[in-house]
Structure 1
Amino acid sequence: MNSQLDDVPDPDDTRAGTADWITTPVTAGLLRGALDLEPTEHGVLPHRLPARARKQIPDGQLAMAEAQPSGVRLVFRTRATTVELDVLPTKMVYEGAPPRPDGVYDLLVDGRLAGRATASGGNVLVVDMATGSAVTRPGPVGTVRFTGLSADVKDVEIWLTYREITELVALRTDAPVETVPDRGRKVWLHHGSSISHGSDAASPTTTWPALASSLGGVELVNLGFGGGALLDPFTARAMRDTPADLISVKVGINLVNTDLMRLRAFGPAVHGFLDTIREGHPTTPLLVVSPVLCPIHEDTPGPSAPDFENLGAGRLLFRASGDPSDRTRLTLGVIREELSRIVAQRAAEDPNLHYLDGRELYGERDFAELPLPDGLHPDAATHLRIGEHFAGLAFGDGGPFTAQGA
């Protein structure tokens, strides 16, 4: 390989404390999975929605979720044996509940997991679930550190924590870094809810979309937003304008648990969302995925209501509080039926449009073995199950994302 990396001496022979650190600016060329990079007082903040879309966000929940870098990773080539990333995270805690563990960062070397780390410090966003208020307490910059790496030339990926807003302050290594050439992989653009965002996955590479992308051999752009899969037109426009070879839209649970719209509005909103995506991707394989099984909302509409009884013990449960006798309101069963009908209608003129029932990713048998701990969100083991199922169904033989279908 003809690059500056070949001329670098072995770091073990040259490094003496911090004098040999090389600081590399974090730029868009080193990032994958982000649609925008905002300069901040401390460094840069990756965003998963572009600036135009962010100006139209109507609520703090989505503004927070899109700035939590699920699927965003730094990617570079280096001989470094030690890598440090200074970050300023914003960590969320619930008033009256124990603090949650620090977010995890995954290190991949040549595509294989080589380390995990966390960052201390950071801002703390304190949310009062009873009143809906939120207060940010400022904190210091922290450092994510990985050591003991091979001095060989290697491709390094640092996957950022999916559940903390993360300002990137400085990247330091004990050998130079350079960008990684295009590996020729297809880009998979995915949109979904908190389940796609990561919910309670063990780490950023074990969210179900990250795992499925690894099994499918594709580059992930994850627009899974906790509480934010609401058929927003600005999200559809962001997807329209984002280069992609494969696209999936997983929609339903947030529309139910926010009780956002009635049946009359749902169908036209789905059509409009898909129409907008098709303006920029007229023939790209597009997979519409209905909700996974969620027993509390299968036949009972939202909104979802938190149960605070066990909050002090660190356990938050949810229940469905809607009126099941109101046939105008959305349940997961109604949404699956409508999505199946809409996709079948459109597929008559759009052969690259496909439908997947979310219960094939997580259904009754899966729930019996791996129930949803809080009634809404899958745990770490369930993320692995969903990711494996999606990879098999979408990227496997005959799937909509196979070479033949894509």
Structure 2
Amino acid sequence: MAVLAGLVVLCLATGLAALADVQHRRGVLVGVADRSSPLAGAAVSVYQSLSDADATATGSFLAGDQAPAAERQRYLHDITEAASALSTAAAGAPDVRTATRVAELTAQLPMYTSLVDTARTYSRQGLSLGAAYLREASGLVRERMLPVAQQLYRDEMARLGTAQEDAASTAVLPLLLGIVALGALVVVQIYLRRTTNRVFNAGLLVATAATFAALMWLGFASANAAEHNETGRRDGSAQLEALVEARITVLTARSEEALSLVARGSGKSYEDRFQQARARLDGDGATLGSFAAARDRAGQPETVAKVDGARSSWQVWLDKHGQLRTFDADGDYNRAIQVATGVDLAHTDTAKVADGSTGQLAAQVVDQLSAAVGQAQARFDDHAGQATSALDAVDVGIVLLVLLAAGAVTAGMAARIREYR
């Protein structure tokens, strides 16, 4: 009786441990797909939209009334995207600190748009006060909002990484219990063979096969889920981080370039920060630049092509930026503005946007990186869904198998017990 009870307990304990592990793993993966990924995406969207809005607003300010309507629409779209992402982040905030950061950004967003609108109004009236309001608006974004948005983004990516590691962990307890149960079943069968002179015990054989099948199912399903989870991390979230960092740095460079011209002769500090952004993007002999880091993580040809296209446009932009700095240093402000925006302020009656302005090149770089970000996000979402699907029906199947094993043990041992009575 003690042997029977022990074997039944081992089978049931294996099933309970496997059931708990599968449900925990599924809960983590569902959380990754349904909460962590959308929340991380919202944090990325806030971070990127604010940066893009700042870069677009400063570029449009330079062109004044001659700025293309598309730039104004892009700015408004960025603001809408940021507001929507903040709403998503607020609804899914996992702790008080995140909720506080989201509330802070939500309160500052209308302050920023008000400053930009005021700057545009004064600029249209030909008043230099507009530049002061624009600098204040840009300072609000770069010095207060973006650091908070960046921390929000990094916190969510860290949480996402922790959840991915948890989902990929090995099912140690159920596997150990299952191995012990299998070992006990084999030992009991050997013992019965020696004491009863029977070669096989049908019940224990069925129990052994059912327990082995349950362990194999758990192992394969967990490994499959872990593989998809790891692929999603490598080809999705890891790439996403590198691409987002490159995109934000590009937008920073565009804002600093535009502000150096808004400052009209006193923009050295902005140009210095442009060169700092350039160093982060290009790297040096000791440090890998953001473009190179993003390309190294982009394993898919389509994403590599986007990063290479962005880098190529960036090199053309740098050449144009050199021309811009030369014109500005020589006091030819209108020519510098034309290089930056494509608008000839000296001939406003016939002004039109020319091809190849630094603003257009910056937009090309940003759009290429945005497309790469979208590809990485899609891959992550796809593999997150496949990781969850890999565990479908596993818990039900394992429960049925261990119940079969427990029943078979009872049936197999009951006959031997009756022989001794």
Question: Is the helix fraction higher in 1 or 2?
Answer: 2
Query: Per the shorter chain, which TM-score range?
Result: under 0.3
* Greater relative contact order structure (CA < 8 Å, 6+ sep): 2
Larger Rg: 2
Question: Is the strand fraction higher in 1 or 2?
Answer: 1
Using the size of structure 2 for normalisation, the TM-score is: 0.23
